[in-house]
């Protein structure tokens, strides 16, 4: 650990406030650090390792693929990318096409470009404005930072691209629409904003209004997608049909991949958009295997059983510590406990790590839990036992 820490401090830009731990191996929801200490992981790499650490099926699929081809560029057809796109569209239930990038931010950049081109082509005036919500998070590039409705993230990095408007709620969005609005971009559950679900009826009413006005509804499912909320997409749960959906995180099971999918299947022409690495043989193969695993779990009822067990144990934990937590929300394997204050939250996270369970922060005072969708009952039990020890020792 000491050598890794020295190298990191000496050569890596300090953009992360790292915890003082180095993980060297894992299996499903278990991790082992450089000192041999074992942990239960309730974070899954911030919702990325959807089928757990070192998943044997994903590893085998990747090894088989890289023995043939890792990358060949998007100038040619590749079967893994075509198969990944077909699986995503079929599982979504929407009539769409996909573009692949490497991250959620890139997926949202693609969505913004789709919206802007749509705004140029559809309407008597240039439509370029995109409405997002306060407390949203859409990425770290210059454009997606500006799309993010958190003023603290805009420090130092301007000037930004014009055309982003922030609504304080879903209810305010209709009053902000004008002749120059081309799209509305929302998260159905705000992840970084504190795991805050939107009101289903309000979202449905907004979707209907936007359809009437020929304004695109774009849903950022970077965190909520790929069965994280129980359904393949949160959009399915909300019973809406977006025009654009973005995906990343859990799609590759740890291999970097992002996707933007849209019902505007002819919006881009050759040369309008591109990515050197996006959807290459390696990442698309990983995505295909992840999707196969999770579809099988969903079909057999295993996914819902895992979610139900985790939710039940989370409820027990919450009820046992009502002196610390003020509220609980769980949508599938995307859960949060609101803590009374930020200082207590920091202590919980540190104590949890000491006791051998990894948890996350969201917003200023939210404990966030994003376990692997493949987590076992034994792993859930061990994790909450450790969390109970952590809170008892505060």
pLDDT tens-digit map of 30-80: 999 999 999 999 999 999 999 999 999 999 999 999 999 999 999 999 999
Q: Would you say residue 125 has pLDDT above 90? A: no
Find out whether 50 and 228 touch, Cβ atoms under 8 Å: yes
Q: Give the chain's mean pLDDT.
A: 95
* Phi/psi at 91 (5° precision): -70, -30
Find out whether 198 and 191 touch, Cβ atoms under 8 Å: no
pLDDT tens-digit map of 262-310: 999 999 999 999 999 999 999 999 999 999 999 999 999 999 999 999 9
How confident is the model at residue 111, as a pLDDT? 98
Q: Is the dihedral of CA 217, 218, 220, 224 positive or negative?
A: positive
Given its phi and psi angles, is residue 253 left (phi above 0), alpha (psi -120 to 50 degrees) or beta?
A: left
- SS3 state at 124: coil
Q: Rounded CA gap, 132 and 147, in Å?
A: 7
Tell the residue number behind the tokens 């990983």, with chain if given.
Answer: 286
In angstroms, what CA-CA distances link 177 with 115, 173, 214, 260?
15, 7, 11, 24
Between strands 244-247 and 216-220, the pairing is: parallel
How confident is the model at residue 1, as a pLDDT? 61
Q: What is the mean pLDDT of residues 181-192?
A: 92
Q: Would you say residue 191 has pLDDT above 80? A: no
How confident is the model at residue 2, as a pLDDT? 73
- Please give, one letter per residue, the 3-state secondary structure of 191-217: CCCCCEECCHHHHHHHHHHHHHHCCEE
Q: Would you say residue 359 has pLDDT above 80? A: yes
Report all structural domains of the chain as residue ranges with CATH numbers, in order of start.
Answer: 2-55+301-392 (3.90.1150.10), 58-299 (3.40.640.10)
How confident is the model at residue 330, as a pLDDT? 82
Can you give the length of the chain in residues?
A: 394
Tell the residue number behind the tokens 């792993």, with chain if given.
Answer: 379
Closest to 33 measured CA to CA, from 21, 44, 43: 21
Residue 75: alpha-carbon gap to chain centroid: 28
């Amino acid at each position: 650990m000491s050598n890794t820490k020295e190298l990191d401090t000496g050569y890596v830009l300090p953009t992360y406030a790292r915890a003082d731990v180095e993980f060297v191996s894992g299996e499903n929801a278990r991790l082992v650090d450089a000192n041999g200490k074992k942990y239960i992981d309730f974070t899954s790499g911030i919702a990325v390792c959807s089928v757990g650490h070192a998943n044997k099926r994903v590893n085998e699929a990747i090894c088989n693929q890289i023995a043939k081809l890792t990358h060949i560029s998007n100038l040619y057809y590749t079967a893994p990318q075509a198969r990944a796109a077909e699986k995503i569209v079929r599982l979504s239930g929407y009539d769409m096409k996909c573009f692949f990038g490497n991250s959620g931010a890139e997926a949202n950049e693609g969505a913004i470009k789709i919206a802007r081109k749509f705004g140029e082509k559809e309407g008597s005036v240039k439509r370029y404005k995109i409405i997002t919500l306060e407390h949203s998070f859409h990425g770290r590039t210059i454009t997606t930072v500006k799309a993010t409705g958190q003023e603290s993230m805009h420090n130092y990095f301007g000037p930004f691209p014009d055309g982003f408007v922030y609504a304080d709620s879903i209810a305010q969005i209709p009053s902000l629409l004008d002749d120059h609005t081309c799209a509305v971009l929302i998260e159905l559950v705000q992840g970084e904003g504190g795991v805050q679900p939107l009101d289903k009826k309000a979202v449905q009413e907004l979707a209907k209004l936007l359809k009437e006005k020929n304004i695109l509804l774009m849903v950022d499912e970077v965190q909520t997608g790929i069965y994280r909320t129980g359904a393949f997409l949160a959009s399915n749960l909300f019973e809406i049909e977006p025009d654009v959906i973005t995906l990343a995180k859990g799609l590759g099971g740890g291999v970097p991949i992002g996707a933007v999918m849209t019902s505007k299947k002819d919006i881009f022409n050759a040369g309008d958009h591109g990515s050197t690495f996006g959807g290459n043989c390696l990442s698309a193969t990983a995505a295909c295997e992840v999707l196969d695993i999770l579809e099988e779990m969903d079909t057999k009822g295993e996914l819902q059983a895992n979610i139900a067990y985790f939710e039940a144990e989370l409820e027990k934990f919450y009820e046992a510590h009502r002196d610390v937590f003020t509220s609980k929300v769980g949508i599938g394997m995307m859960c949060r406990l609101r803590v009374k204050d930020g200082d207590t939250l920091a202590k919980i996270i540190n104590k949890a790590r000491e006791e051998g369970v990894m948890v996350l922060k969201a917003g200023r005072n939210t404990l966030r839990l994003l376990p692997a969708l493949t987590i076992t009952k034994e792993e859930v039990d061990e994790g909450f036992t450790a969390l109970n020890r952590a809170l008892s020792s505060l």
